[in-house]
Amino acid sequence: MRVVDTSAWIEWLIASPAGGAVAALLPGRGQWLVPTLVQLELAKWLTQEAGEDKADQVIAFTETCVVAPLDTPIALAAADLCARRKLATADAVVYATARAFGADLLTCDRHFKGLPGVRLVPKAKN
């Protein structure tokens, strides 16, 4: 299974150069794990940047994948990651979700670099 972090989703959706690399690494639908926090971040970003219709379409797609809710064990693991790895709360929740399901994490965010199970696709520098 693979979690696609919000940063990777956005790069893919805007068809950036990094998004092209992300596209090649996207899992099959049955192997795509979507934390509910990623749904929240996507809905927020898409509504602001692409409109409510596009947000509805993408969230509908995520619901055809494996959706992982934030539960107590993931929340506690995320709290530990915040303390030990200095990850922001949202990033810690996404990473803890991936680890809880034995999934890897596809991301474009550098602060995940070096963590086990992370596939980092760097964004192009401007």
Q: Using one digit for the tens of pLDDT, what is the confidence trace for 53-91? A: 999 999 999 999 999 999 999 999 999 999 999 999 999
Q: What is the DSSP letter of 28?
A: P
Number of neighbours of residue 48 by Cβ within 10 angstroms: 10
pLDDT at 28: 87
pLDDT at 126: 55
Which SS3 state, helix, strand or coil, does residue 120 take? strand
Which SS3 state, helix, strand or coil, does residue 4 take? strand
pLDDT at 124: 76
